[in-house]
Amino acid sequence: MLREILERFDDTVVIEKPVSKELEVTRYLLRYHDRPVLFEDVDGWSVAGNIWSTRERIAGYLNLSVMELMPFIADTMGNPSPCKTVGDAPFLQNSTEDFSLLELPVPKYYPRDGGQYFTSAMVVAKDENGFVNASFHRIMVRDEKTASIRLVPRHLYSMWKDKAEHGEELDVRIIVGNPVHLLLAGATSTVYGISELEIASRMSERAFGRPLEVVDLHGIPVPVQTEFVFEAGLMPELVDEGPFVDITGTYDYVRKQPLVVFERMYHVDEPVFHALLPGGYEHFMLMGLPKEPQIYASVKRVVPKVHGVRLTEGGAMWLHAVVSITKQHEGDGKNAILAAFAGHPSLKHVVVVDEDINIYDDRDVEWAIATRFQADKDLVVVPNARGSSLDPSATKSLTAKWGIDATKPLDRREEFERAEV
């Protein structure tokens, strides 16, 4: 469980004094931006944030090196594995309909937020054919038992829409306080019919030697290793959702989104609520890491030797990337740029470098740009392309994309080698 996970990290910051869930949680998470923070008293509850705020911490928990993390995620996305259904789970020890969302430690992160926000919540739903979807969705508290949920037009939206068109609610389970393999799986983009729970199960098998365990909660499988579970319904009715600070650290606008009615709460003994800071490093990691294998696969189709892909923290791990290749032909760098844009359509800026550049070192990448790039020959600009709706500089999601080919010319490679002793 989360408390046990936090105890494994030697850099966890423990805040013992009472902390307000309105803005004060945010101040601590910003202060310790890359360190786990455990709050012992947020309205009488325990809360944790920044748990998975570095690649090193995520990789270490999964028994991997940082370099192994992307291939690991790629393998699990391509090879889902069945979950193991068990008869009990720790969260079943505490169950009640007598709760108020307003009294739970759900933070209001920023001054102009529309309200308190579930930010680490995953929603598990099952369609009429038995397909189980598990995905991230921000949820804004409205009152003691209702909220609004942001649905982008993907799998859960499709399941909700099918019900809403018939005036019916979609039965769901909302889970909060999950291990990182479940969070990473929930952030993947896969085809309809492949369950994110089975991707998480593959991760669990590879990292820990066992499948993901789930328990049947009134017809819907719920992972055993979760701190809070809510039985809820997504209603046909639309209500206001937002404003909300998204991954770029800027406010998203108010939309009409489905109403959520919370019916029953379950939780483990002494639960820890996961507060995922919007626009923070943990947000970057969980949203960006599953996109790196997609970029890698796309570039690999046009350049045989691809050594790594990194979505950068400076680009919110969404808009900027660095790709490492071995050139075999002139023009490979530019092909890699275009393929990276195809692999992650939200990408706005990509730098392609040779294999001797450490893509995890911003100074090394900048050195490659400084010494191996000429703007009149090595810059690729794609105007009026479809980009990210999260980019505040885009106009109706249209953006100019640009790529830098910072690779050495094949016929002059020796002139670009760094001196060594």
Q: Which residues have a catalytic role annotated?
A: 246
Task: Tell me which residue of 159, 171, 169 sits closest to 220, measured CA to CA.
Answer: 171
Tokens of 277: 């800071």
Residue with tokens 């090394």: 364
Determine phi and psi for 234, rounding to 5 degrees. Answer: -90, 120
User: Which run of H or E residues covers position 200?
Assistant: helix 196-208
Reduced to 3 states, what is the DSSP secondary structure of residue 184? helix
Residue with tokens 């209500």: 239
Q: % helix / strand / coil in the chain, to the nearest 5?
A: 30, 30, 40
Q: At what angle do helices 332-343 and 292-300 cross, to 10 degrees?
A: 140
Going 38 to 40 to 43 to 45, the CA torsion angle's sign is positive
Which long-range CB contacts under 8 A does 239-244 form with residues at least 24 apart?
239/142, 239/148, 240/114, 240/148, 241/114, 241/140, 241/148, 241/149, 241/150, 242/114, 242/140, 242/150, 243/112, 243/113, 243/114, 244/113, 244/114, 244/117, 244/138, 244/140, 244/150, 244/278
Amino acid at 184: L
Length of the chain: 421
Task: Tell me which residue of 59, 75, 89 sits closest to 177, measured CA to CA.
Answer: 89
Cα–Cα dist 356/402, whole Å: 23
The beta-strand segments (E) located in 25-77 are 37-42, 45-49
CA dihedral 165, 169, 170, 174 (to 10 degrees): 140
